[in-house]
Amino acid sequence: MTSYKEFHRRSIEQPDAFWSEQAQLIDWHKPFDQVCDYSRPPFAKWFVGGQTNLCYNAVDRHAKTRPNDNALIFISTETDVEKVYSFAELQREVERMAAIYQSLGVKKGDRVLIYMPMIAEACFAILACARIGAIHSVVFGGFASGSLATRIDDAKPVLIVSSDAGMRGGKAVPYKHLLDDAINQAEHKPGKVLMVDRGLDKAFNKVEGRDVDYAALRSQFMDAQVPVTWVESSDPSYILYTSGTTGKPKGVQRDTGGYAVALASSIKHIYCGKPGETFFSTSDIGWVVGHSYIIYGPLIGGMATIMYEGTPIRPDAGIWWQIVEKYKVNVMFSAPTAARVLKKHDPAFLHKYDLSSLKHLFLAGEPLDQPTHEWIMGELKLPVIDNYWQTETGWPMLSTVRGVEDTKIKYGTPSFPVYGYDVRIFREDGSECDANEKGILGVVPPLPPGCLTTVWGDDERFVNTYFSLFKEPLVYSSYDWAIKDDEGYHFILGRTDDVINVAGHRLGTREIEEAVQGHPAVAEVAVVGVNDALKGQLPVAFAVVKDASKIATPELVAALEKEVMKRVDETLGAIARPGRVYFISGLPKTRSGKLLRRSIQALAEGRDPGDLTTIEDPTALEQIKAALSA
């Protein structure tokens, strides 16, 4: 059996041979002439001359051979709807959506903006774009009008697909008024808006001549057959705007062939998924994980994919595990924050259901701290694997690759560079770090298949943003601090712009969070750097306690704060001690589980927290405001 080290080495030293083999995992309409064209660094083109189609690889080829196998499993605990689509049924729905698109004038290369909740029609909408060679741009459902308007102006869609409302925590979240406002603000006006009416917002207004009803059009195309449009491997498949951008948004542009190959290979080697198995990612289609591992990856790998509308704790904290049992989920993918949410609930929910089908759980989206990693792995008694990657890369950069070698899992680390990525850690002068020396994680290009090929409409910005930090050698900068131990395991220490400079000492927020979370009373924590006249910055911690009785009186609060500071002193030294530790009952997060660190920092510094439309629970910010003013 090949060792993973050898497998990775071959991918870097013999990339053409390596990726030619991986390319056999998808179907090509026309074979490629060249594996990689890297004649214009840092721009890379993969599988040049080849023609393929993402929708064909995700749906049609499986519908031909396994038409009745499960493909899409839609579950909404918000509306109490569950519906299973076979590959044949999914193909019919996608062809109907594609026929609707064509009737509305959408052609190859046109952009379609998708602003939808986690419903089955969103999956059809995405795959229908790929089917006819249109480029989709999914914007997180419920995103603020101003932010949506900038994305409309950047992508210039001919069509927007939306819904009257999403549902979250038992409450309808209306979308249509936000969309109308965004279109009014935008300079670019889409020709048509296709509306999926769920009956959740009785008050939404239809704009005559622009808005069309999905159900009515679908009824006209029940028997539609729309052949796939074969596209060149390097043709764009989608644009995804990176979250938290200000001013002109930054659209990550993904290709077609390279992305399909990267996802197919990752399902096989990283996630160890097989055709006929079931993949459950708890993310949202508005994020990159939703693109790669709800919509495309599992389906390309011949797996059923679960699309879930709901929270991890409604109706109770066992809902995800109930789904695992019912649909015999084999591979699950979630976020560290979700694990920390579950940690606050009775662990009996983890043991109530039959999880024997589940091979492993993957966590990504933010650093996975050691206490949470240890807890969830101990409770599940299954491998819990930390992934590290970015919107820009589209698939993991660091991970255990168990499909090649069952390497040891260490708590709190995403392990090793994934094949195809020449990952190194650099000092700020561009030289390479030694083992156990903190530096900036970078990738020596060409970036492997599946990564962004440029920034939509702005090649110069692509170069300046990602390849300007180090130029000799040319390096893709992750803008994350990292360290590699003697065994080659990588630890992510937080963003370079999340580094706290305390009296000249550079401290990663991750390191302080690990220390705070080591206190037995703390369930989760966010640490941010706050401006300080004397020291430049001071770390400030916002901690969620497991038991509210621990902070029932001011005396108990003061005592616990003192204990937490003492723990940081003992773990990292007094220089890392937080200026304050505030105890609150919840941290502000997006609904896919990412902490809104910038917003927390802004509040701590008395600034505007910015666009908060993606926040899961707005009361969490109110708690922070109250704690800061107390």
pLDDT tens-place string over residues 435-464: 999 999 999 999 999 999 999 999 999 999
Contact (Cβ atoms closer than 8 angstroms) between residue 618 and residue 599: no
3-state secondary structure of 612: coil
Output the six-digit token pair for 109: 């290369």
Order of strands, sheet of 454-455, starting from the edge strand that comes earlier in the sequence? 211-213, 192-196, 159-163, 111-115, 135-138, 238-241, 251-254, 454-455
- Sign of the dihedral defined by the CA atoms of residues 62, 65, 67, 70, in that order: negative
**Residue 300 in contact with residue 110, Cβ under 8 Å?**
no
Q: Nearest CA to 304 among 59, 22, 54, 27? A: 59
pLDDT of residue 396: 98
Structure tokens at 370: 């050691």
Helix (H) or strand (E) holding 235: none
Running DSSP on this structure, what letter comes out for residue 313?
T
pLDDT, residue 315, reads 94
Q: What is the C-alpha end-to-end distance of the chain, expressed in Å?
A: 61
Predicted confidence at residue 531, as pLDDT, reads: 85
pLDDT in tens, 278-302: 999 999 999 999 999 999 999 999 9
For 180, 601, 612, 621, 627, the CA distances from 608, given in Å and listed in that order, are: 25, 10, 10, 12, 17
HSE-CB for 436 with a 13 A CA cutoff: 2
Running DSSP on this structure, what letter comes out for residue 415? B
With beta carbons less than 8 A apart as the criterion, state whether 136 and 125 touch.
Answer: yes
Helix-strand-coil percent breakdown of the chain, rounded to 5? 35, 25, 40
What sign has the CA pseudo-torsion 113, 118, 121, 125?
positive
Q: d(Cα 50, Cα 329) in Å, to the nearest integer?
A: 34
- Under 8 Å CB-to-CB from 3, ≥6 apart: which residues? 404, 405
- Rounded-to-integer distance, Cα 618 and Cα 535, Å: 32
3-state secondary structure of 286: coil
- Are residues 569 and 577 in contact, defined by beta-carbon separation less than 8 angstroms? yes
Alpha helices, DSSP H, located in 328-478:
336-343, 348-351, 370-380, 459-466
Helix (H/G/I), strand (E/B), else coil: 403:
coil
Beta bridge partners of 82: 75
Q: How many CB atoms lie within 10 A of CB 225?
A: 11
In 221-341, the DSSP E strands lie at: 231-232, 238-241, 251-254, 278-281, 304-309, 331-334
Q: What is the CATH architecture assignment of 503-629?
A: 2-Layer Sandwich (3.30)
Q: Residue 564 belongs to what H/E stretch?
A: helix 554-572
What are residue 181's DSSP bridge partners? none
Number of H helices, E strands in the chain: 21, 32
Q: Hey, what are 583's tokens? A: 């105890």
Enumerate residue ranges in the chain where pLDDT < 50.
244-246
For the four alpha carbons of 308, 312, 316 and 320, in that order, the dihedral sign comes to positive
Distance, in Å, from the CA atom of 13 to the CA atom of 559, rounded to the nearest integer, reads 56
Q: How remote is the C-alpha of 139 from its chain's centroid? A: 13
Measured between alpha carbons, how far is 1 from 21 in angstroms, rounded to an integer?
Answer: 17
| pLDDT score of 244 | 39
Superfamily holding 4-310+387-480? ANL, N-terminal domain (3.40.50.12780)
pLDDT at 246: 41
Phi, psi of 20, rounded to the nearest 5 degrees: -60, -40
Q: Are 479 and 499 in contact (CB under 8 A)?
A: no
Burial 447-475 (b: 16+ CB within 10 A, else e): bbbbbbbbbbebeeebbebbbebbeeeeb
Q: Which residue has the tokens 């214009």?
A: 40
Domain ranges of the chain: 4-310+387-480, 503-629
Rg (CA), the chain: 24
* Token output for 28: 């090509």
Tally of CB atoms within 10 A around 344: 16
DSSP strand pairing (536-545 vs 580-584): parallel
